[in-house]
Amino acid sequence: MTAPRKPMRNKGGGKLNQERAKAGVDTPNPGPISGIHSLDPEDGELFEHDPADIGPNPMNQRLGLGNIDELVESVRRQGVHTPGAVMHTDLFMEMYPEWADLVPHPDRTYILGPGHRRREAALQAGKPMLVILRDRWAKERTVEENLISENKDRENLTPIEQALQLDLLRRRGLTGEEIAERAGYSSRGSVTRILNLLALPQEIQDSIHAGSTSAKAGYTLSTIKDEQDSNSSDAAHALQLKAFGWMQDEKITAEAAKNRLKIQTVFPAGNTEPDSSAPVEGASETPRGDGDVSRGKQDQDQGTEQAESSGQQGGTSIPHQTTGESSADGKPAGGTEPEESVEERDRRLAAAESAEQRDLACRLVLSEERYAGAADVTSLLVNAVLNPKEWKEAAVRAHTWLRELGKGPKVERATAYFDAVAADGDANLKRRAAFAIALAANEVRASRTDRDWDERDRAHLKFLIASKVAYQPTEYEQELLGLSSQEAK
């Protein structure tokens, strides 16, 4: 049996005020009141009602009520001070037929809008619930946006719960601008960022909902996409989970994890054949018919570059280091190489792996439109200008990077490529090319294993770490920087 409704004094209007006057509600000790409790409340009226006669709303996207012990105690002592909102259940089901089958208690008089925590606290405390009738929401089909607006302001929804609420409006076909306007968000971009959380794998969503991962980190992970530019496919989820795993295991930021992933996917390890340990741009290279360079000039440049680059270390491969005296052909005296210790081998491999990762990071830096600040560019260019012997090998490496990024003319040889860039009117391309050579000069130098690192090498690594790539130094590099693993992170 439905409990009688207790009218609130001086809160009603229209026919209800008139009926109150007739019934003597506003007079002291009015005696028995007849008929007043049978009157339906008017839309917008504030009144108290038995919470057991109010059903939860299937549109409510709260994933849990959280700890409400303190709220229950407060309601037990003082009652429900902040009203919830209700609609007549039959009206809600009529206006929202698509939700009718999901209403858990269609027989109850009212169904909730906002106020699920307050209703549960009132139930547990054995107190009536303070509510406002909002049938207009159902009639105008604005229940979703009112749920979002009031919950956003009052209930401190988790980012995932906010996203689920906004998704109600998206399911109705509303645009981002319309959702932002109706739900009280500042812009379409804010709505898009929140909704993108629902594209993440469930494991990441659960972590965000629990508060273990921030919404900002979730937004960053949601921008990781597959080759088809989707962030919700199985392939995209695999990449997102990989980045998320790095965040959990190594305590790195989402941005750093995303950039590390970009390094490994955009420029996968092993895709550095042009920078192999063989002479760079040697005689075996076959031109592809660039019309801007004659065959005679090409042969001359090839011979020059081969002569200057032969014997130099290219790419990221690290040559074996030897000790002791060497014969004229570069081999140790006696014709045999000394046996390499396990420690030396491990260090050589660590150096090679680190150099390969830095090489890929350099490419990623160059792929950014704002690849460096003016001070960084100047510093790198000064190093390159003051060390002219490094230019040729650095230019070869830079040419490879820029060609793979699709920057500049389609010229196969480094010398001809940079000649064409210099003659081009594109100032941005010139700056990028000069920066690429300076960056490559530092990387070629840092990747040599026949020398100890100095401040210039460490500055090069620190630049990569501080760049948009947010490069994560390997353990080998952390040792060279004099950092512990925790400090580097």
Q: 277 with 248, same domain? A: no
Provide the number of structural domains found in the chain. 3
Asked, for residue 31, whether it belongs to a domain, the answer is no
277 within a domain of the structure (yes/no): yes
**Following DSSP, what letter does each residue of 28-42 receive, concatenated?**
SS-----SGGGSPPP
Residue 124 has pLDDT above 90, yes or no: no
Residue 479 exposed, middle or buried by CB count within 10 Å (0-12, 13-18, 19+): middle
In a domain, 193, yes or no: no
The residue-averaged pLDDT of 367-390 equals: 77
- Residue 473 forms part of a structural domain: yes
pLDDT for the residue numbered 169: 84
Least confident stretch, 91-100, 162-171, 293-302, 474-483: 293-302
For residues 149 and 182, give the distance between their C-alpha atoms in angstroms, rounded to a whole number: 8
| Residue 180 counted as domain residue | no
Report d(CA 117, CA 56) in Å as an integer: 10
Specify the 3-state DSSP secondary structure of 49. Answer: strand
Task: Kindly indicate the confidence band of residue 26, based on its pLDDT and cuts at 50, 70 and 90.
Answer: very low
53 and 75 in a single domain? The answer is yes
In a domain, 101, yes or no: yes
DSSP state of 108: S
pLDDT of 143 strictly over 80 = yes
| pLDDT value of residue 22 | 52
- For every residue of 394-456, DSSP letters joined together read HHHHHHHHHHHTT-S---SSHHHHHHHHHHSS-HHHHHHHHHHHHHHHHHHHHT-SSS---HH
Structure tokens at 106: 């269609």
The two tokens of residue 376 are: 């960084």
Judgement on whether residues 308 and 212 belong to the same structural domain of the protein = no
Residues 385 and 477 in one domain: yes
Mean pLDDT score of the chain: 75
Among candidate residues 128, 155, 182, the one where a domain is terminated: 155
Q: Let me know whether 259 and 311 are in one domain.
A: no
Question: pLDDT-derived band of residue 348, with 50, 70 and 90 as boundaries?
Answer: confident
Which of 124, 155, 186 is the last residue before a domain boundary? 155
pLDDT digits (tens, 9 = 90+) for 72-91: 788 777 777 678 889 999 99
Token pair of 456 as six digits: 């210039």
Single out the residue in 95, 125, 155 at which a domain terminates: 155
Segments forming the whole domain that contains residue 101: 6-26+38-155
Q: In what order do the strands lie in the sheet with 84-88?
A: 6-7, 46-49, 129-133, 84-88, 110-112, 54-55
The type of residue at 232 is S
- Residue 375 and residue 477 in one domain: yes
Least confident range from 56-65, 210-219, 347-356: namely: 56-65
Q: What are the φ/ψ torsions at residue 132 (nearest 5 degrees)?
A: -120, 135
146-172 pLDDT, tens per residue? Answer: 777 665 554 567 888 888 888 888 888
31, burial (CB in 10 Å: exposed 0-12, middle 13-18, buried 19+): exposed
- Mean predicted confidence (pLDDT) in 240-264: 83
Whether residue 361 sits in one domain with residue 252:
no
Does the structure show a pLDDT above 60 at 201? yes
- Please compute the mean of the pLDDT values over residues 380-394 and round it to a whole number: 82
Same domain, 352 and 451: yes
Other C-beta atoms within 10 Å of 336: how many?
A: 8
User: Quick one: 311 and 455 in the same domain?
Assistant: yes
> With pLDDT > 70 as the criterion, what percentage of the chain qualifies?
71
Long-range Cβ contact pairs of 417-426 (< 8 A, separation 24 or more): 420/292
Based on the fold, state whether residues 139 and 212 are members of the same structural domain.
no
pLDDT for 67 equals: 66
Q: Same domain for 22 and 125? A: yes
Chain centre distance of CA 55:
38
Better pLDDT: 43 or 322 = 43
Q: Are residues 134 and 204 in the same domain?
A: no
How much is the pLDDT for 317?
37
Residue 143 within any structural domain of the chain: yes
pLDDT, average across residues 116-136: 86
Residue 327 in domain: no
